[in-house]
Chains A and B, each alone.
Chain A
Amino acid sequence: EAGVAQSPRYKIIEKRQSVAFWCNPISGHATLYWYQQILGQGPKLLIQFQNNGVVDDSQLPKDRFSAERLKGVDSTLKIQPAKLEDSAVYLCASSLSISTDTQYFGPGTRLTVL
């Protein structure tokens, strides 16, 4: 069974630039999550989708971050403009249905903002 795919794996940008991350969840998984993990900390949920609808985006900095999950499958997370404090690993995860189901994580995208 293919796992959660993310791209790119690494990205280096300068502050005020834009960046986008892509995630392809496990086939058939209705729930998709984006997390931000700063070095030395646990993952922090940014947004949770159920199919193509947003369930929770309370911790998403909406002035600069946006995410979409068109057609309820793939998802993109965008940062515009980036700040130095956005340097982190961005993890995508999916689960079969509700959030108490096992979440399967992708390898993450390591973002460095200079």
Chain B
Amino acid sequence: LAKTTQPISMDSYEGQEVNITCSHNNIATNDYITWYQQFPSQGPRFIIQGYKTKVTNEVASLFIPADRKSSTLSLPRVSLSDTAVYYCLVGEGTGRRALTFGSGTRLQVQP
């Protein structure tokens, strides 16, 4: 399974754009990149998934360079409610193996 590396923590202020980068040097050809968000005392929640280039939804954008060895989750104009732990996962595309969670990035948004 591809191992992921992401910063342990990040700080930001309300209204700023936050970019969290994840390294996955051993990503395989049929692996997808998925990001989850987890608030205290809750289960993780899906944010976004991509394979290459750029994916955007109503919550975030995901940038994946051509070599796919890293990815960047971009959260536009964060608010206090975006304070959470963000997990980057790399999963095998056939779905035979479940995604593996790392330790995640703890994002703290200040007023």
Contact = CB atoms under 8 A, between A and B. Distances in A.
Chain A interface, DSSP helix/strand/loop, else mixed: loop
B44 A105 contact: yes
A100 B95 contact: yes
B87 A99 contact: no
A44 B101 contact: yes
B45 to A, nearest CB: 7
A48 B43 contact: no
A46 to B, nearest CB: 10
A103 B44 CA distance: 9
Contacts of A45: 98, 100-101
A108 B42 CA distance: 7
A42 B94 contact: no
B32 interface: yes
Q: Which 3 A-B pairs have the closest CB atoms?
A: A98-B95, A105-B43, A42-B101
Interface of A: 4, 33, 35, 40-45, 48, 55-56, 91, 93, 97-108
Given A42-B101, A42-B104, A56-B98, 14 more contacts: A42-B85, A42-B103, A43-B101, A45-B101, A55-B96, A93-B44, A98-B95, A98-B96, A99-B91, A99-B95, A100-B95, A105-B44, A107-B41, A107-B42
